[in-house]
Amino acid sequence: MEKTVYIRMRNRVQTRPRDPIYLKDAAQIIADDSVLSKLQKIIIHQLSEKDGNIVVIDVMKVIELISKQFDDIEVQTIGPAQTIIEVVSKSKGVSIPFFLLIWFLLFFGSALTLMNFHDDVSMRSVQEKIYTIITGKKETKPLLFQIPYSIGLGLGMILFFNHVFKKRINDEPSPLEVEMFNYQMDLDNYVILNENKESMKRVHDD
């Protein structure tokens, strides 16, 4: 009688360079106890130098390996059709000078951008006019309006990104976290199609 094995490929797996990748690393397996431990120890890929830092393992390769070793097993796959193996060489920390450079780049960049924006939309004359509308007096330095405005500017950005210095206003992910997630998904999709030799067939491949 054929035994059924259920396999669900993981989305992303991180490994060290030159490690063998076992099936249990790359996929979740449900199988009969008699074959489970053997299945888990199948080496589906041996990482080498020329692999680069991303390898895509297609589920077809996994099925092929399993059916080579066991002839009475039927494989059922669920979920993603491939696993992205990410080779993490050593855990690279953030380089502090590089980080500071970016930080100050963003800091002065946004300061300048904002000043240019204010100039572009004639913010100054509008604010003087608002001052005159409210109080009936002329004032070339309506600081009573401008200082709260400046602070509010920062508050608005924090509010939008839902971060009050890491503290959350509520539990929902911030738009930026969603954006990071989408970006990662796009990268993964690109990698799945382009690094996986099985998923494309070109005219001149032979």
Partner 1 sequence: MTIKIIIIIFLGLASGLSVGSGFVAFLTVLGIIPRLTQLTKTMKMIQSYEWAVVIGALAGVWASLRDPSLNMSAYFLIPFGLTGGVFIGMLAAGLTEALNVFPILAKRIRLDGEIVILIMAIVFGKIFGSIFQWIYFVHR
Query: Which residues of this chain interact with partner 1, rule CB under 8 A?
Result: 92, 94-95, 98-99, 102-104, 106-115, 118, 124, 126, 129-137, 140-163, 165-166, 169-170, 172, 175-176, 179-180, 182-184
Question: Which residues, listed in sequence order, are joined to residue 75 by a DSSP beta bridge?
Answer: 5
What's at 199, amino acid-wise? S
The least CB distance from residue 88 to partner 1, in Å, is 11
Helix/strand/coil (H/E/C) assignment for every residue in 66-93:
HHHHCCCEEEEEECCCEEEEEECCCCCC
Name every residue whose Cβ is closer than 8 Å to that of residue 168 and which is 6 or more positions away in sequence: 162
Question: 79 vs 181, which CB is nearer to partner 1?
Answer: 181
- C-alpha 27: how far from chain center: 20
The least CB distance from residue 11 to partner 1, in Å, is 16
73 CB-side CA count, 13 A: 23
Question: 72 vs 98, which CB is nearer to partner 1?
Answer: 98
The least CB distance from residue 200 to partner 1, in Å, is 25
- Return the structure tokens found at 101: 């450079």
Question: 81 vs 159, which CB is nearer to partner 1?
Answer: 159
Question: 20 vs 109, which CB is nearer to partner 1?
Answer: 109
The least CB distance from residue 91 to partner 1, in Å, is 10
Name every residue whose Cβ is closer than 8 Å to that of residue 14 and which is 6 or more positions away in sequence: 85, 86, 87, 88
The least CB distance from residue 71 to partner 1, in Å, is 45
With beta carbons less than 8 A apart as the criterion, state whether 83 and 8 touch.
no
Question: 30 vs 155, which CB is nearer to partner 1?
Answer: 155
